[in-house]
Structure 1
Amino acid sequence: MASRPRTSRLRRTLLAAFVAASVAGAVSAAARPSAVPAPVPAALTPLGSATPAALAERYGAQRDGIRAAERMAAGHGDRRRAAVLRGMADPARSFLFFDGRDDGRIAEVFGDLSRAERIAVLVPGSDTGLGTYERFRTGATALQREMGGRSAVVAWLGYRTPGTLSPEVVTPDRAEDAAPELQEFVRELGGARQTARISLVCHSYGSAVCARAARAPEVADIVLYGSPGVGYDNAAALRTRATVWAGRGADDWIADVPHTQLQLPFGTVGLGRDPVSAPFGARVFAAGDGGHSDYLKPGSLSLSNIARIAGGQTPAEDGRHA
């Protein structure tokens, strides 16, 4: 029995080192794209339906907001952000919401939402914002292509993500703030597309956001990948009717993060048990040999299996625990 205290002390030591590294990296996190003036977005009415006409109206209104943000960024002298926004204002792109303030709040649609029978809501992890949005968009595009016809992917950047090297990334605080917004978004999406199968597809810190929005009855599957933990001891604690899946690539550094949680005087530190561990109780899917940023890489086993799950199919080489 003596090994348990030693294991506990080791976990605490590792977590302390991780927190120290995060605090030391706060300066790096502060170097993320600075706030640039942007207009306050117009109030959105609920998306009552997902007919082509209703969606075209919503997309057009968001395009107007993006163009206004582009003009403001250009006037501020931030040519890089203005160029990003100019690309977003392309009439071929479709946004359900857009807020250009701070690091941005975005929901972009890939595929035809009006006809989609399968919808994946993609939730990002740390260091995702307007300045890094293209890599998030690339993953969403790859997932929608893999899912095929009659599918849509919504790239949901609806919260201020923590920096990879920041104190916030080892606490559930940002996830707790973001979850109500995600839950409301899923409810609205489910009301507009009542016959569609909706899945939450959640990368890294985004898995902690999804875990807190898991009770939304519209969700059929929750896919956690590259997760540092979700802040709960097991899948049952999410109190969801959805099937909870978890996967991790063989070369993902997140496996070395201490999967524990400490209650300290100033708050909670750590995100708890590893979702791919047997005690967590998720259905584990094979995610191949990739690293932390490779899950939605075209041709990868992880992308294929995530797309299959979101489509209501059994993943290949299912690695579920007995």
Structure 2
Amino acid sequence: MGPGTTVRWRRRVGRWRRTGCAALIAGAVVLPLSGAARPQIPAPAPAVLAAPTAATLEKTYAANRANAAQASRMAADHGDRHRAAADRSMADPSRRLLAFDGRGAGLATEVLGDLAHADRVAVLVPGSDTGLDTYGRFRAAALALHRQLVAEAPAGTRTAVVAWLGYTTPGTVSTTVATTGRADLAAPELRDLVDDLRRITGPDTRLALLCHSYGSVVCARAADGLDVSDIALVGSPGTGADTAAGLHTDARIWAGRGADDWVEHVPHLSADLFGTTLGFGTDPTSPGFGARVFDTGDGGHSDYFDPGSPSLTNLARIALGETTEVTHD
């Protein structure tokens, strides 16, 4: 397959995605809600732990790894080898789990780096179709971001990444992906995470939220008064706010979208139909929204954290506070 054929194929797939997304938003009120097709996988309740501090982090990590190991055994006994393997990977002694819940689609908060001593912390917030069964791709993005932070950080600056799968994400093909419902439920959890990070790291550590796709809706719903320095929205379908000022935050608001990201063609509308608000309104990369639009290159919707990409470089600079080095569209 030559380069021209590959480009034509990607454009054709993009058209199919655009058509599907537009149809989803237009018809969401008449489509049945998508539930999990797979049966419930047994798992223990999350470990009951005191609010984490710098001094108790290692105990927190160990307790959550033990919970993941138990979840793996229960999933294996249930006959779900895929989930058992995913949970077993979480239980590896090298993993730093700030939180873990193996029930349902699963939740996890993982730390990359030395959180207790970090000067700069980036919180990565995922979009749709992210759960324990698909966690590997989310973690790969977090790992790439952490490597970039380490490479870009000024001498003596310590960094950490928090991969926050702290909410039940919507399915890409579901009515929930077209409304703020899941984001409204997730926002208090994200605020609680920021409070935890402040308790662990102290007031002088710089915190930034890097929010992908539907995760940008979550960050927007949590933004009001949130103690973070920067909020970056990538591949965003909208935030539910008409302008960056409407997020009611002192954080700098950034927005970026790859040239080949199909989300550009999702209608940037918001409408109240039969008691449900569909769509997320203004495009965050539009001039009228008022965000700082940064260069994300030619990538697609899943390419923002690709090593070597302009988007990853700029997201790392935002997280580090090196904002004068960020390149703009």
Among 175, 184, 193, the alignment partner of 1:176 is 184
Structure 1 68/23 Cα, relative in aligned 2: closer, same or farther at 3 Å? Answer: farther
Distance 1:185 1:287 in 2: 27
Indicate the RMSD between aligned Cα atoms, in angstroms: 2.0
Superposed counterparts of 1:216-295, under 5 Å: 216-295=225-304
User: Does residue 1:157 correspond to 2:165, yes or no?
Assistant: yes
Structure 1 14/127 Cα, relative in aligned 2: closer, same or farther at 3 Å? Answer: closer
Gaps of 5+ in 2: 1-18
Q: CA deviation at 1:187?
A: 1.2
Superposed counterparts of 1:129-140, under 5 Å: 129-140=131-142
Structure 1 25/130 Cα, relative in aligned 2: closer, same or farther at 3 Å? Answer: farther
Deviation per CA, 1:204-224, whole angstroms, max 9, x where unpaired? 000000011112442000000
Distance 2:314 2:163 in 1: 18
Superposed counterparts of 1:63-142, under 5 Å: 63-142=65-144
2:43–2:74: 8 Å Cα contact kept in structure 1? Answer: yes
Q: CA deviation at 1:16?
A: 6.7
Residue 50 of structure 1 is matched in structure 2 by 54
SS of residue in 1 equivalent to 2:185: helix
**Please, what TM-score do these two structures have when normalized by structure 1?**
0.89
Gaps of 5+ in 1: 1-12
SS of residue in 2 equivalent to 1:280: coil
1:251–1:289: 8 Å Cα contact kept in structure 2? Answer: yes
SS of residue in 2 equivalent to 1:219: coil
User: Does residue 1:190 correspond to 2:202, yes or no?
Assistant: no
SS of residue in 1 equivalent to 2:117: coil
1:124–1:156: 8 Å Cα contact kept in structure 2? Answer: yes
Structure 1 16/312 Cα, relative in aligned 2: closer, same or farther at 3 Å? Answer: closer
1:23–1:165: 8 Å Cα contact kept in structure 2? Answer: no
Q: CA deviation at 1:317?
A: 2.3
**Please, what TM-score do these two structures have when normalized by structure 2?**
0.87
1:226–1:292: 8 Å Cα contact kept in structure 2? Answer: yes
Q: CA deviation at 1:87?
A: 1.1
Residue 212 of structure 2 is matched in structure 1 by 203
1:26–1:165: 8 Å Cα contact kept in structure 2? Answer: no
2:232–2:253: 8 Å Cα contact kept in structure 1? Answer: yes
The residue type paired with residue 45 of structure 2 is: V
2:318–2:326: 8 Å Cα contact kept in structure 1? Answer: no
The residue type paired with residue 327 of structure 2 is: E
Structure 1 33/128 Cα, relative in aligned 2: closer, same or farther at 3 Å? Answer: farther
Distance 2:193 2:36 in 1: 30
The residue type paired with residue 25 of structure 2 is: V
1:14–1:258: 8 Å Cα contact kept in structure 2? Answer: no
Q: CA deviation at 1:114?
A: 1.7
Structure 1 32/250 Cα, relative in aligned 2: closer, same or farther at 3 Å? Answer: farther
Residue 62 of structure 1 is matched in structure 2 by 64
Deviation per CA, 1:103-157, whole angstroms, max 9, x where unpaired? 1111000111122110011000000001110000000000011011611000001
1:95–1:106: 8 Å Cα contact kept in structure 2? Answer: yes
Structure 1 190/32 Cα, relative in aligned 2: closer, same or farther at 3 Å? Answer: farther
Distance 1:50 1:73 in 2: 32
1:169–1:205: 8 Å Cα contact kept in structure 2? Answer: yes
Distance 2:23 2:199 in 1: 45
